[in-house]
Structure formats: structure tokens, C-alpha cells
Chain A
Amino acid sequence: MGAVGPVRATQTVRNNAVTLELDSGLALSALRYMILTREVEDRIEKKLYRQGKIVGGVYVGRGQEAIAVGAGLAAEPDDILFPCHRDLGLYFMRGVLPRQVFAQYMGRVGGLTRGKDGNMHMGDLNLKIVAIISAIGAAIPVAAGAALSLKYKGLPHATFVFFGDGATSRGDWHEGVNMAAVLKLPLVLICNNNMYAYSTPLEKQMACQNVADRGPAYGIPSEIVDGNDVFAVCQAVRRAREHACSGQGPYLIECKTFRMTGHAAHDAGLYVPKHLWEEWAKKDPIERLERLMRTRGWADQAEIDQVYKDVRNEVDEAIDWAEHSPYPDPAELLDNVYGPEG
């Protein structure tokens, strides 16, 4: 009961008290989803886009895969997810198939929106995944409303909303966070601070040091986590979820990471200093997990290689399926503007 806090300053929590049962099964699952995410996005961005098979823009989460997958591991099946455009892993973890993602990017009926929208603008209410609109910050008040529905019905679930550093400059980000804080809604706010919003670097985006610094202003706890460490993300999100579901209101997690690509496939990111690419390449979240797995004896190289091989086969088949998925019939143009009753 009572207010959250006084939150004195941003806490950089390295809380080992909330322990995660780290084992080979969990690690293998995380590794598989991260590799699948990267392989699907690599094919889209580096092959299919260049072959002219993709319709419209391509936005990938290369280097950021640990955030979606770490949060996905912490989510319970009935939690509501609002992924942003660099969180593809969440879709796979909820059961979306790679072939649906390829078809979505190709504007085919096999995509989640049947060609009504493109790329990462996709959702499925049955899976409790909400589709973004292009203005990412707009998702925060809507996610607050989804969290309100959970509280209203007395359900023990949380809503997770994902966004980048750029979205935190938007007015409705602030309106949504404030609303969720005042109404004590079960909302977990997960920022991928990848240091760039399109070409705008962090120091031109905000005058505070960290996105997490914004939390105390709303009377909610916030923490900074290494966004390239899948288990650190998972543990932080579990803490946040526990807080949110206990009726204490929202919780802000800032995942420090780096966008190992331009804003979109058309953008080579020439405005990014070279040393940043080099520095962050060494912190690659997938290689890091592989090292951990070998060190702990959870998997040997042959087993890891097998994951890659299986993923590539799955992706080959998925692309083939998507290319055979038809384009929508123009007759569908007028469908579903309104519900069937008018």
C-alpha cells in the first residue's frame, strides 16, 4: 500500500537476491531464440531486401536480441506484450512462425496483417501481442490501458511495453508513464537504449544521463541493466514484473545496448563513430551467451553449431513458404475498416 518510494536517485540494481534457475535448458532456449531472431533479420535485411523481395522498410534488432528474449523468458503466458520494432524475438517466443514474419515483410496474405500493414507493425490479440504504430511513444498510454484492464479484472498479470531512447522524448510516453504511476497499474516499461534514434545520438535526445533517471520523476522505481546480457535482462524483468503484479505500479528498466545497424536497411549508419561499432561488436549478446554456455559446461561447440544449422534450415523453409504466399486480392481493400455489424 501507500506510495512508491521516496526514490532518491536512479538505482543501478545488481540484485543477486532474485536468483534465476540458470540451467542448460533455459540457456539453450534463449540461445535458440536469439539466433533465430538474428538469422531471420539477417536474411530480411542483407538478402531479401537487396534482392528487391521486401516491400518497404526493414528495421532490425541486431545486437539487441538479448532484450526481447530476456524479457520473453520472464513473461508469463498471459502477460500482455507491446513489442517495438527491434523486439522480433518476442513474437517467436509467443508462437509466431518465421514464415509469417517473412510473408509480413513481403506484403503477402501469409503475414500477420494480410498485407494491410508491413514489417514490424504486427500483432495478434490471441497471443496478447499488440501491434505498434510508427510513433513508438504512442504505445505507452495504450499499454497503460491494457494494464488497467488486468487490474480491473483482478488478473495477476502484467503488461510489458518496449521502446527505444527516442520514444522517451515523446509527450505521450510521459503521459502514459505518469498515468500508470498514478493509477498504480501493472506495467513494466522496458527501454532499449541503443544510443541512437535514427541518426540522433543520445546527447541530442535528452539532457539527463540515463533513461532510468526519468523513473524517479514519476515516483516509480527504475533500474539500469546490461542489455546485452540475456539473463541480466531476464532477472530485472522478473523483479519488475513482481513489483508491478503486487499492486505497486509500474517499473522502468533501461537496457543499455547498441544498435549494430543503421536505423533501417537503407541507412548505413555512417554518422556512427567507428570505435562504437568495434567496441560493441565485442559485446555481442549471442557470442556472450555461447561463451557462458561453454564455460558452464551447458553445451559444447557441436551442440551450438547444431542450433545454427537447425535455425538455417527452418529459415530456408520459411522463406520458401512466404514467397509462395499470395499477395492480397485487391478486393480486400475495403474489408475491416469497421466491424461486421457496420
Chain B
Amino acid sequence: MQTTYLEAIRQGIWEEMERDPNVFLLGQDIGVFGGAFKITAGMLEEFGERRVIDTPLAESGIVGAAIGASMFGLRAVAEMQFSDFISCAFDQVVNFAAKCRYRWGAAIPMVIRAPSGGGNRGGPFHSQNPEAWFVHVPGLKVLTPATAYDAKGLIKSAIRDNDPVIFLEHKGLYRRIKEDLPEEEYTVPIGRARVFRSGEHLSIITYGAMVYVANDAANQLAKEGISVEIVDLRTVLPIDEETILASVRKTSKAILLHEDVLTGGLGGEIAARIAERAFEYLDGPLLRIAAPDTPIPFSPPLEDAFLPKVSGVVEKARWLCRY
């Protein structure tokens, strides 16, 4: 039976709750209601109020409580109802959680789950991609799974990890992406990218929902004889530089693609690393494809114009191949 991306995350959390009695959940509307996206549906009934905690509407309070509990032997999995709201807890994430180990040796084995991404007509406050804010904070780990397999394997690794992890679930993938998952238990290592599609002529380095935009573009380009390699980062902090560099050394051309806005986004960081360490392998300029530098608009024609599209990727890939 095929498992959706959403169900895969749910299964991963469920298995870790069964495996470790110190794992607990907290957030708004996660218990009785089962969460705004139903990731935690059924968990209150199975694990009880002690381990599935409906909290007041207070992101700073939720993240702070997750930090304090995780400092003293528990493993908190906190839910931000939408990743957009994590800005309300910014101080707790970047100044408290991220720095405790470095400053005074206190590990914070906490996960913050945050549904992110656009395409759902959510408008400026229910659609954002906040990864770049946190990739700039040493001490955090930031995960951006694209497949159901990785979503399950990475949420399990995140819960077992001894550092604070931001787990960005792309809302557009929740019910759209499904695949057969292994019967047996598995995890996916944090900090490792994977080659999503092997190719010869150019590399698209991407993550999250853009993996599928890249793949659709690659299918079109294949008909024109252009063979595209897609690297799915899976983890954006720490960045798996070796997998990126190996791909670029093979294809000699690279597009950096993300749904987040252009300026200060991950594309610039990855481009710099490629330029520093694989410059002599490049046969063309590094190209970034990202959303424009605007808030995420609401109305369908505006949001469609905002999100990076297959046609745009195809066009830039053709240009780069001719270069």
C-alpha cells in the first residue's frame, strides 16, 4: 500500500513514541483535534494527555517549554501550526536552543516540526519557506524532506538526535506524494543529500517541493537529449557539500533551485561553495532559480507567478546547456 508524505511523518513520530517513553508532543490543536493537518491524529487516544499536550496559543511558550523539557531528559516534538509562526518563537530557537550546548554544554534534543511552503493559496502568513533564517544559526539542524521515505526516516532521526532540529514539512507534498515504504524499520541520516535522478549534462541542486519541479523539467529536457542530474539536499543544515561537489564535477554545470525567495537564500550559499571548491570543473555560470523577492501573495495568478515553475527551469537549463 502506498503511504503519503503526511502519513509517513505520522508513522515516524508514532514509532518513536512507542520506542522511547521520553518522547512527547506539544503544540496547538495537536491532541483532541489531531493537528491542523492531522499529523498527530489518533495520538492522544493512543498515548494519552501526558505525552500529547494541547498548549495555549503561544509559539515562544511552546518552543521554550520544549527546550526546558528536553534539557531535563525528555525529547520534545513541538509543532508550529504553520512554519510562518515560528518567527514568534525566534528568540527561543536562535538564542536559547541553538546556543546552550556551545555555551555551557547543555544538549537540547528537541524537534520543531513546521509545515512550510506555498502553492495552497495560503497567502503571506501560511506559505513561507523559513529555512534560510535558521541555516544561518550554528547549533541548529534544518531538514527539508521531499519524499515520503525521507520524511519518515528523517523525522525518526530528528527525534533521536541530540541537537535542536527544525523539521520543515512541505504542505504541498502532504497528500500529493506517496510511495511504498519498507515494512521494516529504517532511518535516514541527517546531513546527507542524495542523487534523486542521475544525469550527465547539468546538475540541479534543490530540496523540498522543488525536487518535483526539477524532475518534471528533467523529463521534458530528456526528450530534447538533455540529461539532468538532480541532487535532493534533504538536510539544508548541515549542508552535504561532498554530494553537491561530486555532482558538479561530473556535469560541470549547475542550477540552484529553491522555493524560498532569491536574496539571501540557500542558492547563493551553495553557489559560493561550488565556486570555491569546484571552480575549475565549471563550464558555465552558476544559475539561481528562486521565488522573486516579494512576500508570498494570495490570489492564484499572483501565487502562480511567484512560485518557480517547470517552464522557467526548462528555459534556464536549455540556456545553460548551450553555454
A147-181: CB near B (< 8 Å → 1, else 0) gives: 11110110000010000000000011001101100
Chain B residues within an 8 Å CB radius of A133: 91, 95-96, 99
Which of A133, A172, A341 is the most central at the interface, judged by chain B CB atoms within 10 Å of its CB?
A: A172
Chain A residues within an 8 Å CB radius of B67: 141-142, 145
Chain B residues within an 8 Å CB radius of A1: none
CB-nearest residue of chain B to A342: B191
Q: Which of B71, B99, B106, B161 contacts A145 (CB 8 A)?
A: B71
Minimum Cβ distance to chain B for residue A36 (Å) = 22
A116 interface contact, C-beta 8 A: yes
Q: Report if A143-B68 is in contact (Cβ < 8 Å); known contacts: A125-B106, A178-B61.
A: yes
CB–CB B92/A172 < 8 A = yes
A138 interface contact, C-beta 8 A: yes
CA–CA, A130 and B24, complex, Å: 22
CB-nearest residue of chain A to B22: A152
* 8 A Cβ contacts from A117-137 to B: 117, 121-125, 130-131, 133-135
CB-nearest residue of chain A to B105: A336
A6 interface contact, C-beta 8 A: no
Task: Report the number of A-B residue pairs with Cβ-Cβ less than 8 Å.
Answer: 143
Report the interface size for chain A: residues with CB under 8 A from the other chain: 44
CB–CB B68/A148 < 8 A = yes
CB-nearest residue of chain A to B101: A336
* 8 A Cβ contacts from B43-92 to A: 50, 53, 55-56, 58, 60-74, 76, 91-92
Chain B residues within an 8 Å CB radius of A178: 56, 58, 61
Q: Report if A148-B60 is in contact (Cβ < 8 Å); known contacts: A131-B103, A135-B95, A172-B92.
A: no
Q: Which of B71, B73, B74, B102 contacts A142 (CB 8 A)?
A: B71
B161-183: CB near A (< 8 Å → 1, else 0) gives: 11100000000000000000000
* 8 A Cβ contacts from A324-342 to B: 336-339, 341-342
CB–CB A130/B64 < 8 A = no
Q: Which of A121, A144, A152 contacts B103 (CB 8 A)?
A: A121
B107 interface contact, C-beta 8 A: yes
Report the interface size for chain B: residues with CB under 8 A from the other chain: 44
B314 interface contact, C-beta 8 A: no
CB–CB A131/B63 < 8 A = no
CB–CB B104/A149 < 8 A = no
B145 interface contact, C-beta 8 A: no
A140 interface contact, C-beta 8 A: yes
A322 interface contact, C-beta 8 A: no
Minimum Cβ distance to chain A for residue B27 (Å) = 12
CA–CA, A146 and B64, complex, Å: 9
CB–CB B71/A171 < 8 A = no
CA–CA, A178 and B50, complex, Å: 18
Q: Report if A141-B61 is in contact (Cβ < 8 Å); known contacts: A133-B99, A135-B91, A172-B91.
A: yes
A183 interface contact, C-beta 8 A: yes
* 8 A Cβ contacts from B184-202 to A: 190-191
Q: Which of A113, A121, A122, A130 contacts B71 (CB 8 A)?
A: A130
Q: Report if A144-B60 is in contact (Cβ < 8 Å); known contacts: A135-B95, A138-B91, A336-B105.
A: no
CA–CA, A175 and B63, complex, Å: 11
A112 interface contact, C-beta 8 A: yes
CB–CB A337/B70 < 8 A = no
* 8 A Cβ contacts from A289-308 to B: none
Minimum Cβ distance to chain B for residue A170 (Å) = 9
CA–CA, A140 and B102, complex, Å: 21
CA–CA, A153 and B51, complex, Å: 11
| 10 A–B contacts, CB within 8 A, in A order | A113-B103, A116-B103, A117-B103, A133-B96, A138-B64, A145-B66, A145-B70, A148-B69, A179-B56, A336-B105
Top 7 nearest A-B pairs (CB, nearest first) are: A141-B64, A145-B68, A175-B61, A145-B65, A149-B72, A146-B68, A175-B58
A residues within 8 Å of B by Cβ?
80, 112-113, 116-117, 121-125, 130-131, 133-135, 138, 140-150, 152-153, 159, 171-172, 175-176, 178-179, 182-183, 336-339, 341-342
